[in-house]
Structure 1
Amino acid sequence: MATASKAGSTRKPRESHIQAIDPKTVTDMMELLQLGYVTSVAATAGCTVERVGADLWGMDVTFVRPPATPLEEEVMLLAQLKCTTQLVPDAAKDTFSYQFTKRQYFDHLAKPRRNYKSILVVMTAPTAQAEWTEATHGGLLTRRACYWKHLEGMQVDPGVKKPSVRISTSDIFDAQTLIKLMDRVDRGDPLHG
């Protein structure tokens, strides 16, 4: 069956490898899954997550850690969120590769920033949407995990339209990691290292 994509043209619907509950909403559901993950991590780290309303600068959320006293400044960290069902990082390997779908997503993260620092958070999820989470009396299990990477200052050839980056399998995005990142931002230290 063909669907109209533009006046006068037809194309086949894109085949998907995802076993979706509703194929029309699966991309939105992937975003909600990742937002739930990072919100839970932030809450455990004593931070809030503020969604960025308009995706003009390639950032999806801002993590905010409240100040210790009213006279101190809060600490903020920007993040670009990406969720994929096409990767299964192997913990036995040091890294895995993530490819951006657009050059601009990479550029927003790689550009030098004077004020707010930014990270990439990549979530990997099973291809079967029904397997993304499992609830038991012991808690809610989210299948797979989020990984983070700081890209500021990275460069790729200007002709590359979909840059790839190597992400360490040890850089799992959890509460302890977020606390450490916020501490580094607060001190003005580099985010990785």
Structure 2
Amino acid sequence: MMEQLQEGYVTSVAATAGCTVERVSRDLWSADVQFIRPPLTALEEEAMVFAQLKSTTLVEPGPAKEFFSYQFSKRQYFDHMVKPRKNQKAILIVMAVPPQQRQWTEVGHDGLITRRCCYWVHLEGVYAAPEIQRPTVKIPTKNTFDAAALTLILDKVDRGESLHE
């Protein structure tokens, strides 16, 4: 159910940013979705980025904390996120949800509110010793995943700039 909630969240963000989000049907490279922003003209390329989606009920990030820790369940998920990529870049998107499923959303006449949010990080080049089977990474709480963040990420990809801060 957490996966379904997160897919809805990132799909809403992509729509707000003017992008599409395509589900990757086979988990070969630890990419769950691909965000695609259409070009401005027919002579330009699309901007694209892969994303690995993870959810957790174990943390409650907030603006008072500089970061939170996320531990991968498998080494291979980490390895695919940290490897150098020449072409299409990849980001990790972690959604922190309340432990009680009934608290995930709230509906009112103003709209649907999703409790807590997603955070993103670019891990290319991050190192963890080979013997660590479940690496832990730090996710900056300033990296909320919203339409402005997705637009910035795709702008940087378009210009060939680093996604690291």
- Secondary structure at the aligned position of 1:64 is classed as strand
Deviations 1:83-119 (A, max 9, x none): 1111111321211111001110000000000110000
Give, in whole Å, the separation in 1 of the partners of 2:2 and 2:134.
Answer: 21
Aligned position for 1:96: 68
RMSD: 0.7
Give, in whole Å, the separation in 1 of the partners of 2:35 and 2:76.
Answer: 22
Aligned position for 2:164: 192
- Secondary structure at the aligned position of 1:89 is classed as coil
Please, which runs of 5 or more residues in structure 1 have no aligned partner?
Answer: 1-28
Aligned position for 2:150: 178
Equivalenced residues, count: 165
Aligned position for 1:134: 106
Give, in whole Å, the separation in 2 of the partners of 1:93 and 1:60.
Answer: 28
- Secondary structure at the aligned position of 2:60 is classed as coil
Higher RCO by CA contacts (8 Å cutoff, separation 6 or greater):
2
Q: Kindly, what percent of the aligned residue pairs are identical?
A: 61
Deviations 1:136-160 (A, max 9, x none): 1111100100000000011110100
| Residue identity matched to 2:164 | H
| Residue identity matched to 1:91 | P
Q: Which moved more, 1:81-90 or 1:56-65?
A: 81-90
Please, which runs of 5 or more residues in structure 2 have no aligned partner?
Answer: none
List aligned pairs for 1:1-193, cutoff 5 A. Answer: 29-193=1-165
Aligned position for 1:15: none
TM-score, L = length of structure 2? 0.98
- Secondary structure at the aligned position of 2:36 is classed as strand
